[in-house]
Amino acid sequence: MKLLVTGGAGYIGSVVGAQLLAAGHQVVVLDDLSTGHADAVPDGAELVRGTLRETAFEVLDGAGFDAVLHFAAKSLVGESVRRPGLYWDKNLGESLALLDAMRRADVHRIVFSSTAAVYGEPETTPILETDPTRPTNPYGASKLAIDTTLTEYAALHGLGAVSLRYFNVAGAHGRYGERHTVETHLIPNVLAVALGRGESVQMFGGDYPTPDGTCVRDYIHVVDLGRAHLLALDACAPGEHQIFNLGNGDGFSVREVVEVCRTVTDHPIPAVEAPPRPGDPAVLVASSDKIRSALGWKPERDLPAMVADAWAFLRR
Ligand code: UDP
């Protein structure tokens, strides 16, 4: 298939782009390089630099694309609270522009990177796709608005859409991995200490109602996540918007993650307790039953494998 990968110069977009190419697809990356890196674009993909608003139609029109995989987004929760307008504009506004360009260019399939942040503070775990969506920050709200738009466009315009609601993505795929200028994620921050960048890890909050008092999250290897995108692409059906959670279904606490990082790196990685980070739910764990039964997906890489691959990437 000929595929447009928005955000293909970013962490997840570059890994999945590389997997799509390896599966024999043709990939064009559209990225404004606001947070991505030109040298992260997968080998064999063409890079078009531009915003979705200004460039999507020009790229799609008459070029014979079969589908779009839409990764491009702003994704920092804290920034979204400080600058909600930026998140509504870049995430929802540019997605609407992309959908409009797709309609005009006759491209009717899309796989969208949604997020567990659409659920907010869950009442029960593991989280099901049918659970209430009550995002607690503009990042999650803007992603939920795109999910809602996809449902409406599927019903109204015959779009075939799949939203994958990612839980905590980690790991790397060879030369493709996480390289954020502002790094907020736990695993890269812990590994940075093992690399000698920083003296200790800050563990945000030790009084959560969890077995060891630190937050519990569901970590999924970026390569397993990529495999789900290949299945989702095949599952896109005209007039349908399907939504799947994408996690391992297992929870690990911040302390447990730090411990796995110590084992993998063979470094003591000092860790100190710090005040809780505002807005962090105690436990976020996916039910992945739906994607397992509907698409036949299952995770193959565990937390030590994610940490080992992220560590190998960081040391390159
Ligand atoms: N966290 C931490 N120290 C850090 C970064 C993150 O204790 O330096 C915690 C964070 O509070 C959360 C968990 O690790 O409980 C996962 O955070 P991350 O930012 O990786 O993902 P999120 O679940 O927020 O999407």
Residue with the smallest CA separation from ligand 1 atom 19 is 185
**For range 153-181, the mean pLDDT:** 96
On whether both 21 and 65 belong to a single domain, the answer is yes
Is the pLDDT at 280 greater than 90? The verdict is no
pLDDT of residue 211: 97
DSSP 8-class letter at 229: H
Q: How many CB atoms lie within 10 A of CB 3?
A: 25
155 with 273, same domain?
no
Residue 298 — pLDDT band, cuts 50, 70, 90? very high
Q: What is the structure's pLDDT at 224?
A: 98
Residues 10 and 146 in one domain: yes
CA-to-CA separations, 36 to 6, 142, 153, 221, in angstroms, rounded: 11, 20, 28, 20
Show the 3-state SS of 17-43. Answer: HHHHHHCCCEEEEEECCCCCCHHHCCC
Tell how far CA 239 is from the center of its chain. 24
Query: Residue 279's pLDDT is what?
Result: 79
Output the residue whose Cα is nearest ligand 1's atom 3.
203
Q: Which residues have any ligand 1 atom within 6 Å of their CB?
A: 168, 184-186, 189, 202-204, 215, 217, 254, 277, 280
Nearest atom in ligand 1 to 274's CA: 7
pLDDT of 278 over the 90 cut = no
DSSP-assigned letter for residue 123: S
**Is pLDDT of 259 > 90?**
yes
Confidence of residue 132 (pLDDT cuts 50, 70, 90): very high
3-class state of residue 99 by DSSP: helix
Same domain, 127 and 195: no
- Residue 79 and residue 118 in one domain: yes
Average pLDDT over residues 60-67: 98
**Cα of 64 from ligand 1 centre, angstroms:** 41
Residues 11 and 53 in one domain: yes
Nearest CA to ligand 1 atom 10: 204
- Check if the beta carbon of residue 39 is closer than 8 Å to that of residue 175: no
CATH (domain of 51) = 3.40.50.720
* pLDDT for 238: 98
Q: What is the separation, in whole angstroms, between the first and last Cα of the chain? A: 32
Q: For residue 294, what is the domain's CATH number? A: 3.90.25.10
Pair (12, 58) in one structural domain: yes
| Average of per-residue pLDDT values in the chain | 97
For ligand 1, mutation pick of 79, 80, 186 (most atoms within 8 Å of CB): 186
Q: Which is higher by pLDDT, 60 or 278?
A: 60
229 and 209 in one domain?
A: no
Does 132 lie in the same domain as 80? yes
- Under 8 Å CB-to-CB from 293, ≥6 apart: which residues? none
Position 302 pLDDT exceeds 90: yes
| Residue 233 structural domain | 2-169+220-246
- Whether ipTM exceeds 0.85: yes
Per-residue pLDDT tens for 225-243?
Answer: 999 999 999 999 999 999 9
Contact 90, 80 (CB under 8 A): no
Q: Of all protein residues, whose CA lies closest to atom 21 belonging to ligand 1?
A: 185
Q: Which atom of ligand 1 sits closest to the CA of residue 204?
A: 7
Pocket test for ligand 1, best of 81, 125, 185, 197 (most atoms within 8 A of CB): 185
For every residue of 28-92, DSSP letters joined together read EEEE--SSS-GGGSPTT-EEEES-HHHHHHHHHTTS---EEEE------HHHHHH-HHHHIIIII
Protein residue whose Cα sits closest to atom 18 of ligand 1: 185
pLDDT for the residue numbered 138: 96
Residue 49: pLDDT band by 50, 70, 90 thresholds?
Answer: very high
pLDDT computed for residue 182 by the predictor: 85
Tell me which residues are annotated as active site.
139
Average pLDDT over residues 158-181: 96
Verify that 37 and 176 share a domain, yes or no: no
Residues 182 and 261 in one domain: yes
Tokens of 30: 């559209």
Give 92 Cα–ligand 1 centroid separation in angstroms: 25
Specify the number of domains making up the chain.
Answer: 2
Q: Are residues 38 and 111 in the same domain?
A: yes
pLDDT of residue 181: 84
For residue 281, which amino acid is it? P
pLDDT of amino acid 202: 97
At 22 the pLDDT is: 98
